[in-house]
Amino acid sequence: MRLSEIGSKEIVDLSKGCSHGQLWDTEMLFERKDGTIKAVLIPSYHSKGPFKHSSEQWIQLPWNNIVKIGEDMIIFKSED
């Protein structure tokens, strides 16, 4: 699967039942040796009224925590 095919998918946390935006809004960490994806860095958003803004902090989502890449979303299970 190409990044262009999954970039617009919504990232959803199965454990907390919340959305973390789209894959386009993230950064990725790669393994230097073979180029595989190690983790996705998701911006941490804080809600103030009807608007969300980034707190300049990132949530690191290990690639192996992804449960399913579906037609519309990427579902992962966060570690409590």
Radius of gyration, alpha carbons of the chain? 13
Q: What is the mean pLDDT of residues 49-61?
A: 65
The mean pLDDT value of the chain amounts to 83
Buried b (16+ CB within 10 A) or exposed e, 30-55: eeeeeeeeebbebbebeeeeeeeeee
The identity of residue 23, as a single letter, is L
Quick check: 66 and 74 in contact, CB under 8 A? yes
Residue 25: pLDDT above 50?
yes
Per-residue pLDDT, 48 = 47
User: 75 burial class (0-12, 13-18, 19+ CB within 10 angstroms)?
Assistant: middle
